[in-house]
Amino acid sequence: MDELVALCKRRGFIFQANEIYGGMQGLYDYGPLGVELKNNIKHSWWASMVYDRDDVEGLDASILTAQNVLKYSGHEDTFTDPMVDCKDCKSRWRADQLDGSQCPGCKSKNLTEPRPFNLMFKTSVGPIDDGTSFAYLRPETAQNIFTNFKNVVDSTSKKLPFGIAQVGKAFRNEITPRNFIFRVREFEQMELEFFCLKGTDEKWHKEWVDARIAWWEAQGVSKDSLELYNVPEDELAHYSKATVDIMYKFPHGLEELEGIANRTDFDLGSHSKNQSELNLDALVKENKDSNSKLAVQDIETKNWNVPYVIEPSAGVERGFLAILNEAYRVESLEGGKERTVLGLKAHLSPIKAAVIPLKRNHDGLVAMAQEIKNELQGLKLGRVLLENSGNIGKSYRRHDEIGTPLCITVDFESLEDGTVTVRDRDSMKQDRLKIQDIKSELKKLINGTDV
Ligand code: GAP
């Protein structure tokens, strides 16, 4: 973990938030390379969920969430972690993460009894801060997918089964944020709520578990690093009938990367008016505030059915950490030297290619390199850099370390015959290619096809 943290800071992937004022626990900023990797992960998820399927629509809803949404969802009552205080050093800890009954700070055993601590952030809304007008920062992106269920059905005429996908920020006032970006207070979720008829839910649950494992593998996370965990009944969230967690061997241990829950008809039922008219299985709070029935009507029987929901929910930061951890390696080279490589899948690499003139500031070489850079950038595959450093070896090392799949060197031969040296990050193999062939080479590498 220490090596990954150091690489992230050194190369501009991740910085401690508010660092110049001493930093703030559980908050991180994503630098020039971090934002590219993060965007690429989110784009890959979105493409697999929305573009590659005909049964999923997208959504981008507000982060500030009305109290009623999180009252009827059950979060006000149950979204808590057990907290203890150390009476000696005054620190606070999550009771379920203590090693024995000792304060991890001062080792005192003088702790309070655990008490529930609600993880939701509250903020006042409007110009008068008298405590009556407030909203929550959403603790999961899921809830406003549920509250928009009818809007999406009415505007798209979608029929069951279908899903609504959303990627966005979520906030949790974690008692003890830790392990770098693994447990933080502000993070992003990639969530799909997949609505299906009761009775088909268990089949869909299995299908989504398989689909999600395949997706992680396509991002470079090997199956050997993943394990499935069937969450036992006494650990299930209040809305879940069954949850399968995809666990990943993080540097600090085996922990949850993504959860895939069968949320039954709990959420849509909870947010619906006239619940007695609905065929609800879940036990929900009677709702006197909603003005909508989040259900579908059977054309023949006229009965209202509340769809069941299968929810694959992945954290972007945890995905980022897992992908980085899988990609990171230090290789021994001849002469006792080493190189650090981020063997990222090309579609995730922050920089797609670097074009390097052999000699710094040489007019002819730089002009040709700039032309190649512009051509490749024009493919719209992601960022392409011109490295006018004059130090090929140093540029290769830097680009190996940040996961750039191709380095293209322009030398004096290039000026004469229009060929360049193309170096592959993983094999370090160097090929001489015609300039006009580089575009299709890069397209093949990133899209898997040169079309
Ligand atoms: N809507 C369901 C839900 O939110 P969850 O298991 O609490 O379920 C889903 O969260 C995913 O969000 C987790 O698998 C994890 O990847 C990510 N996540 C949750 N809390 C997090 C935190 N404090 N920091 C970073 N990621 C977190």
Query: From the alpha carbon of 182, which atom of ligand 1 is closest?
Result: 25
DSSP assignment of 385-411, as one string? EE-TTS-HHHHHHHHHHHT-SEEEEE-
- The best mutation among 14, 121, 140 to test binding of ligand 1, ranked by most ligand atoms within 8 Å of the C-beta, falls on 140
| CATH 3.40.50.800, the chain: domain bounds | 343-447
Helix residue ranges per DSSP H, 108-163: 142-147, 149-156
Measured in Å, residue 44 CA sits from the centre of ligand 1 at: 19
Residue 128 has what pLDDT? 83
Nearest CA to ligand 1 atom 26: 315
CA pair distance 167, 66, nearest whole angstrom: 19
Task: Spell out the residues 6+ positions from residue 296 whose beta carbon is closer than 8 angstroms to its own.
Answer: 153, 160, 304, 305, 307
CA pair distance 387, 441, nearest whole angstrom: 20
| 18 phi-psi bin (left φ>0, alpha ψ -120 to 50, beta other) | left
| DSSP 3-state of 208 | helix
CA pair distance 362, 360, nearest whole angstrom: 6
Measured in Å, residue 314 CA sits from the centre of ligand 1 at: 7
Is 2-65+140-324 a CATH 3.30.930.10 domain?
yes
Q: Are 208 and 341 in contact (CB under 8 A)?
A: no
**Residue 374 CB neighbour total at 10 angstroms:** 12
DSSP tag of 178: B
CA pair distance 1, 5, nearest whole angstrom: 6
Residue 451 has what pLDDT? 63
pLDDT in tens, the chain (451 residues): 999 999 999 999 999 999 999 999 999 999 999 999 999 999 999 999 999 999 999 999 999 999 999 999 999 999 988 899 999 998 989 998 888 889 988 999 899 989 888 999 999 998 888 878 899 999 999 999 999 999 999 999 899 999 999 999 999 999 989 899 999 999 999 999 999 999 999 999 999 999 999 999 999 999 999 999 999 999 999 999 999 999 999 999 999 999 999 999 999 999 999 999 998 999 999 999 999 999 998 889 888 999 999 999 999 999 999 999 999 999 999 899 999 999 999 999 999 999 999 989 889 999 999 999 999 999 999 999 999 988 999 999 999 999 999 999 999 999 999 899 999 999 999 999 999 899 998 999 998 876 6
Residue 325 has what pLDDT? 97
| CATH 3.30.930.10, the chain: domain bounds | 2-65+140-324
Strand partners, 354: 385, 407
CA pair distance 360, 357, nearest whole angstrom: 7
Preceding amide of 161 cis, omega within 30: yes
Q: Which residues line ligand 1 (CB under 6 A)?
A: 140, 142, 172, 174, 183-184, 187, 189, 191, 256-259, 311, 313-315, 317-318
Task: Spell out the residues 6+ positions from residue 131 whose beta carbon is closer than 8 angstroms to its own.
Answer: 124
pTM, entire model:
0.94
CA pair distance 143, 147, nearest whole angstrom: 6
DSSP tag of 223: G
**Residue 299 CB neighbour total at 10 angstroms:** 6
Strand partners, 385: 354
Task: Spell out the residues 6+ positions from residue 387 whose beta carbon is closer than 8 angstroms to its own.
Answer: 354, 355, 356, 357, 395, 399
Q: Which of 318, 23, 320 is nearest to 184 (CA)?
A: 318
| DSSP 3-state of 188 | strand
Q: Are 392 and 408 in contact (CB under 8 A)?
A: no
- The best mutation among 178, 228, 256 to test binding of ligand 1, ranked by most ligand atoms within 8 Å of the C-beta, falls on 256
- The best mutation among 229, 313, 316, 317 to test binding of ligand 1, ranked by most ligand atoms within 8 Å of the C-beta, falls on 313
Report the b/e string of 241-278 with b at 16+ CB within 10 A.
Answer: bbbbbbbbbbbeeebbbbbbbbbbbbbbbbbbeebeeb
- The best mutation among 80, 189, 247 to test binding of ligand 1, ranked by most ligand atoms within 8 Å of the C-beta, falls on 189
Q: Are 198 and 296 in contact (CB under 8 A)?
A: no
Residue 26 has what pLDDT? 95
Nearest CA to ligand 1 atom 19: 315
Nearest CA to ligand 1 atom 14: 258
How many residues can be counted in the chain? 451
Measured in Å, residue 239 CA sits from the centre of ligand 1 at: 15
| 61 phi-psi bin (left φ>0, alpha ψ -120 to 50, beta other) | beta
Sheet holding 64-66, edge to edge: 64-66, 134-137, 122-124
Say which CATH topology domain 343-447 has: Rossmann fold (3.40.50)
Residue 380 has what pLDDT? 94
